[in-house]
Structure formats: C-alpha cells, structure tokens
Amino acid sequence: MKFDREIDFPASQKVPLHVDAQNLQGKTLLITGGNSGIGLESAKQLAKMGPDKIILACRNMETAAQAVEAIKADGIEDVEAWELDQSSFDSVKAFTKRYNESGLDLHILLANAGVLPMKASRTPELTNDGHELIVETNHLGTALLTLGLLPTLRRTAAKANEHQLPRVVIVSSDVHYWTEFSPSKQEGNLIKVMDSETSWEDVIVRYYDSKLLNIFYGQELGKKLQQSQIKEDKQIVVSIVNPGLVRSRAEIEDPNSRLPAGMRELARDYTQGCKTHLFASIDPSAGKPGEVVYYTNCAPVEPADITLGKEGDALRERVWKDTLQVLGVTVQDFQW
C-alpha cells in the first residue's frame, strides 16, 4: 500500500476514532513508556476498565512515580512502575528476568516505548551496546523485551480461554510508508550496517527506518509463534499499531510550538490518539493468533509495499535473522 503525505496522511488524521470499553477484570497489563504522552493516556484509559494490575515500564523513574499516582486517581490501586531502558540490553534483560520470576501473568503487553531525538546529528549516536540509539531503543529493545517475556506469555496462554489470550501490541507508525530503507541495499548484518556512518542520513530518516523494523519484526514474530512446537505460542496474539500524529493538547494549541501550524491542525491529542492503541489491546475483534494485523484508525490496513510479496518476505526474514544475531539469541533458545 502507498500512503501519500499530502493526500492520504491529512485524510487519515481526520477519521473519527471509536473504541468500546471492555471488562479487564482479572488481567495484568504492561505498558512500556507509560510515564508520559500517549503511553500514559493509554494507561489511564485502561485503568478505568478494571484490570487487576498495571505495570509501567519506564526509563525515568521520577516521572514514572508521578504517572502511577495519576493512574491511581483514575480508579485502580494496583499500579507499579518498574525501571526499563530499552537502549540498554542489560536493562531489558534485568526487567524480563524480574517479570518472569514475579509469577505475574501478562495479558496485554503494549510495547509503546520509543525515541525520536530532536537534535540533528551528522553521525549516528551509539549506545553502550554499540548500536545506533534509535534502532536499539525502538526495535532491538522491543524485540529483546518481547522475546524475553515469552515464558510469562506462555504461562498466561496456558490458563487462558479464547477471550483472555495474551496480546502483544507493537507500536509502529505511518512514517514507515515513507522510508526507502536504504541500509537494506548494503550487504552484511542489517543492524550492524545501521550502526555505521555509511548508512546514516539523519535522525528523522532513521526514525522512519525503525518504525519499518517494528513492522517486519512484529510480522515475523507472529509467524514464528504459529510455527512453534509449543502449543501456547499459537495462542499469543501479535498486532501492530499506528497512532498517527499525536501531541499534547497544550502543544496543539500553542502558536509558538515547533510543530508547524498545518501539522498542529491535523494532530490528535492524547485522549484521541491513544484509541488505536486501546483498540488493538482490548477489542474482541482485534487480533487473532496467526494473523498479524497492522491497525490504523482502529481498523486493519495494509502496510507499506516494501513489506509485501517475495521481496518483502525476504527482507522480513533478513531483519529477523540479523536482529537475533545482534541480540545474541537463537531460535533454539525459545524452543521453536
């Protein structure tokens, strides 16, 4: 599918959004990046539906503590903030170890955390793990988190009926339509290519690339779960969502905002912008095991042409293989 910036994008931003509240009693929710923005608003809205527990996985524990109190004010007492920095493999591994050993179930994993540095850079910024910051935070960290939480997801699936199947919701973006994904033209491990200066253009292009990686990873994760010899894997739902252009109400109304006036007119505030997050996380019609659907405006749509056909299949498999290689894991580690 093609998605034109001048025609399709403005039209998409004007589509009315609707999601019905569900009864989340008995469910445990994990929201990454739940301390601010669309992640926090998603948590607030989900809290009103009566889940047993919400865990916010956050890098900034000071704002996370404030978010916990704000969510508790919306009607749920059992809310916790756990530290998670997706730009650090050690942090992600510590988090998944803690969760798996906690004995908690995991009914909804809303993988919302991401980063878009606003400062221009002529060269890629590398993490302590040696990977480009945007790719590690948005893609590698998300991949390591979801793979690391498989033991808990499987345990949850083993106890679930058809209305309680665990859901993994990966947040991408419509900007994935607008990347040419030039690093894929180079040979070698794709992630390592993206760590090098030879593939670097700027932070915006790399952000677009990272959101395409989210699509490829989510699609292949769903495929691998269905091919697994472990029956519980076949009961885990994987979906991918695009929230569109979302900003705070204050920024939308601020004439001095860095966001151009035309974009401010199109932007949704967090209350509206979180609805596709919610739809994929809770709606009974959203997501079935084996069907990795990309949702925009609370409805399934086709992702970018680069993800389709034989070329899309080959690129998706390359992303998966190269991602696992840099993460230092194998399919055998997950008994697939």
- Which residues have a catalytic role annotated? 173, 207, 211
3-state helix, strand, coil in the chain (%, to 5): 50, 15, 40
End-to-end CA distance of the chain: 31
- Residue 3, number of CB atoms within 10 A of its CB: 20
- CA 306, 336, 188, 149 dihedral sign is positive
Q: Where are the alpha helices (DSSP H) in 196-330?
A: 203-227, 249-253, 261-266, 270-273, 275-282, 309-327
Is 286:279 a contact under the CB 8 Å cutoff? yes
DSSP bridge partners of 53: 28
DSSP bridge partners of 109: 30, 168
For 134-158, give one letter per residue: b (16+ CB within 10 A) or e. bbbbbbbbbbbbbbbbbebbbbbbe
How far apart CA 108 and CA 19 sit, in angstroms, is 16
DSSP bridge partners of 28: 53
- Residue 37, number of CB atoms within 10 A of its CB: 17
DSSP bridge partners of 132: 126
How far apart CA 181 and CA 172 sit, in angstroms, is 15
Cα 82 → chain centroid: 17
